[in-house]
Structures are given as C-alpha cells and as structure tokens.
C-alpha cells in the first residue's frame, strides 16, 4: 500500500483477511508518512492467525517509509502480530490498545532506533515475547503497557538490554519498564535468565544501602551476588540478570522494572522459571 505524495498517514481496514498476510507500506515521497493505522480482523482458522506489518518499498511507485513514528493497531481477532525491522526502525509509539483480540507479538528491542519507545497492548489475554538483547545498537528506553486481560511476558534472551552501565544515566537510557504489571493476573517468564538468588540474600543487599542511594547503587549492590535478583526499590520491583556471570554490573546485563509493583505482592505464580 503506497501513500500519495504529501500524505502524512496511512489507514488500513482489514475485513477477515487471510492469515499469514503482509501489509507492505510505502510512500511516493520519502519522509512524509509519520502515522499508520491498522484495524479490523484476520480470518479465523484452525491454527494461529498471523499478520505482518512491513515496509520494503516494493509496491509500485513507492519507497520504504523512513519517518514512521506511530503505528496504531486495533484488531478484533486473535492474532500473531509481527512488525518488521524496517517498519519498526523509527517507531516511537506502537499502540495496540484498541485491540480486543488476544494478541501474540515478539518485540525485538534492537529493531527500534528511537531513544524512547512505548509499546501498548489491548484488552485481550496477550502473549508478549521480549527479545531484549540490545545488540550492537545504541541503548533505548522502552515502556511496555500490557493492558487488561491475563497477560504473559517472556524475556527470551540471556543477553540483556543495558547498552552501558557506568552510572544512573546509563541505566535510565536502556531501562525496560513494564508500566502496569498486575500481580493478580500477569506472568513473566524468566527461564532464559540465570537462576534466581535467594530472596533473603537480595533483601539484605537492599536493606544495607545508605540513605540517598540511587537505583544505580541498588543494582550495583545486587549485581555482586551474580545470577538473577528480584528486588524492590522506591516502590517498584526490578529484575536484574548478571549476563556474563561476573558478579558485577556491566553492559549487556538485564534490568527490567515492574513499575509500582511491591515485591510482596508477587508470588511464585507470577514467575515462570
């Protein structure tokens, strides 16, 4: 689908399209399209429904989108949604909050080049796989909103999201935040990470912090234990994974925030190990 010269947005309405299809987005003039809206449904089949949103620039008279910053997806069908790396490159907002079907999606952090990325899911029971390996690109902060429903988040990589880890600013620049993790309904799969440290050992590290300690101080403290630690700091729960098993905080480690979640509200049912 190719946007005409001067168009700032593309809207695509799907009506039971065949599963496995691809929406290939393009524009006649490079740099015009900033917003894409996709709505409707993918045809129900015996297997999983699938839809790919990409931008190869192959449609007639078109070029790949270069400034797409907002992708809004509102699907009524249960669908596996894939956003290609070409389409994701400049996205700052991937908003699927209008979707009522159960969505399945893999979010590959290094596909997104924006410094801050917000990803929002809808009201279904969504399954999100987060490939949080930062790769060789610069760090980006990512906020994921799971939405209503019984949602599952899988951390799929042992290597982590911290592009640099020398100070507080480095952590903030690469932090992945889950904005609305619901302890009563949601789960997080940490089986790709290291073994979890005993909670009493982690709590001892946090309780020993000096007054005025920062998140960097807290992470550096639990990093000395190696492996994976789950700890609470200033009203949020954090998951830290020592990727290189060096028992220290380094680039390539993993740090995930469950914003506003008290560690006491979490139980074994929230973690898949």
**pLDDT tens column, 74-113:** 999 999 999 999 999 999 999 999 999 999 999 988 899 8
Q: What is the pLDDT of residue 246?
A: 93
Tokens of 81: 């949604």
CA distance 147 to 81: 16
Q: Among candidates 176, 197, 170, 192, which has minimal Cα distance to 258?
A: 176
pLDDT band at 56 (very low <50, low <70, confident <90, very high): confident
CA distance 118 to 131: 15
Residue 185 CB neighbour total at 10 angstroms? 14
pLDDT at 132 over 90: no
Q: Which residue has the higher pLDDT, 253 or 139?
A: 253
Q: What is the pLDDT of residue 137?
A: 61
Tokens of 219: 């992470």
Q: What percent of the chain has a predicted confidence (pLDDT) above 70?
A: 95
Least confident segment among 28-32, 136-140, 235-239: 136-140
Q: Among candidates 232, 115, 129, 123, which has minimal Cα distance to 174?
A: 115
Least confident segment among 130-139, 152-161, 181-190, 251-260: 130-139
CA distance 45 to 151: 22
Q: What is the pLDDT of residue 43?
A: 86
Q: DSSP secondary structure string, 28-60?
A: SSTT---EEEEEEEE---SS--EEEEE--S-ST
pLDDT band at 165 (very low <50, low <70, confident <90, very high): very high
Q: What is the pLDDT of residue 60?
A: 63
Residue 115 bridge partners (DSSP):
none
Q: What is the pLDDT of residue 75?
A: 96
Q: Among candidates 56, 166, 71, which has minimal Cα distance to 117?
A: 71
Contact 199/218 with Cβ under 8 angstroms?
no
Would you mind telling me the total number of residues written for the chain in this entry? 273
Q: What is the pLDDT of residue 156?
A: 87
pLDDT at 61 over 70: no
Average pLDDT, the chain: 92
Q: What is the pLDDT of residue 55?
A: 87
Q: What is the pTM of this model?
A: 0.94
Residue 257 bridge partners (DSSP):
177, 238
């Amino acid at each position: 689908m190719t946007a005409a010269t001067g168009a700032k947005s593309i809207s695509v309405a799907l009506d039971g399209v065949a599963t496995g299809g691809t929406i290939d987005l393009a524009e006649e003039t490079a740099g015009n399209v900033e917003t894409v809206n996709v709505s409707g449904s993918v045809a129900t089949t015996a297997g999983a429904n699938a839809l790919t949103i990409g931008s190869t620039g192959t449609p007639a008279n078109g070029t790949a989108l270069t400034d797409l910053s907002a992708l809004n997806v509102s699907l009524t069908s249960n669908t596996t949604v894939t956003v290609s790396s070409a389409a994701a490159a400049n996205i700052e907002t991937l908003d699927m909050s209008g979707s009522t079907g159960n969505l399945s999606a893999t979010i590959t952090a290094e596909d997104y080049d924006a410094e801050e990325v917000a990803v929002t899911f809808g009201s279904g029971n969504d399954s999100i796989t987060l490939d949080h390996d930062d790769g060789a690109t610069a760090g980006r902060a990512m906020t994921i909103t799971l939405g209503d429903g019984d949602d599952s988040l899988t951390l799929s990589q042992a290597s982590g999201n911290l592009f640099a880890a020398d100070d507080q600013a480095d952590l903030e620049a690469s932090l992945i935040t889950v904005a609305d993790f619901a302890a009563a309904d949601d789960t997080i799969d940490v089986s790709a990470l290291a073994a979890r440290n005993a909670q009493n050992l982690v709590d001892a590290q946090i309780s020993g912090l000096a007054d005025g300690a920062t998140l960097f101080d807290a992470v550096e403290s639990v990093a000395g234990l190696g492996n994976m630690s789950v700890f609470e700091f200033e009203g949020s729960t954090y998951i830290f994974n020592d990727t290189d098993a060096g028992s220290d905080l380094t680039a390539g480690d993993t740090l995930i925030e469950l914003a506003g979640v008290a560690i006491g509200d979490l139980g074994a049912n929230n973690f898949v190990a």
